[in-house]
């Protein structure tokens, strides 16, 4: 599947792991529930713009970055 | 206001006008209601990822483009 939810999910997971964060910590810092973050990473939730913004802030990226299809190693 | 909803709203409006589309046509083609598209453009709705994808498709841009802060003339 390559729809927007899968793209967001794989981006969140990749940046979270790169930061050494658990789903629990990312969720807690974002004001979200761990099970919700897990579902987002699996592309199972139609995440809202505000929640994209919250998660992006915790991951230290601009929100739009989480919607970009991943095409390998990037500078940013 | 410069939060994500305002950024998305101004991007949707700018691309819609650049395509010469009315809110009615953009809404109809995206399977959304005109009043909803109007509220999105005003940054009043916490738009979901799937609706960002629907609108982006009709505007002929990648979904992530609608989340990028606008910084003047762009090539794409």
Tokens of A66: 């989480």
- Smallest CA–CA distance, residue B3 to chain A, in Å, is 9
Partner-chain contact A62 B68, CB within 8 Å: yes
Tokens of A14: 């990749």
- What is the ipTM score, two decimals? 0.90
Contact A8, A36 (CB under 8 A): no
Burial pattern B48-72, b for ≥16 Cβ within 10 A else e, equals bbebbbbbbebbebbbbbbbbeeee
Tokens of B32: 């959304």
Closest residue of chain B to A67, computed from CA coordinates: B64
SS3 B54: helix
Q: What is the four-CA torsion angle of A49, B13, A60, A51, rounded to 10 degrees?
A: -10
Name the one residue in this structure whose structure tokens are 């990028």. Answer: B68
pLDDT given for residue B72 in this prediction: 77
The pLDDT tens digits for A18-53 are 999 999 999 999 999 999 999 999 999 999 999 999
Interface of B to A at Cβ within 8 Å reads 3-5, 8, 46-50, 52-53, 62-69
- What are the two backbone dihedrals, phi and then psi, of residue A48, each rounded to the nearest 5 degrees? -85, 165
Question: Of residues B12 and A72, which shows the higher confidence score?
Answer: B12
CA distance A22 to A17: 7
Walk along chain B (76 residues) and give the pLDDT tens digit of each residue: 459 999 999 999 999 999 999 999 999 999 999 999 999 999 999 999 999 999 999 999 999 999 999 887 655 5
- Smallest CA–CA distance, residue A71 to chain B, in Å, is 14
Q: Whole-prediction pTM value?
A: 0.91
Query: Looking at the DSSP assignment, which residues form a beta bridge with residue B48?
Result: A48
Position A72 confidence tier, pLDDT thresholds 50, 70, 90: confident
């Amino acid at each position: 599947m390559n729809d927007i939810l899968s793209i967001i999910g794989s981006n969140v997971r990749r940046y979270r792991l790169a930061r050494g964060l658990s789903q629990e910590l990312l969720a807690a810092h974002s004001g979200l529930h761990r099970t919700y973050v897990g579902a987002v990473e699996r592309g199972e939730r139609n995440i809202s713009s505000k929640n994209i913004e919250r998660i992006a802030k915790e991951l230290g990226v601009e929100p739009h970055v989480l919607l970009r299809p991943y095409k390998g190693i990037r500078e940013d």
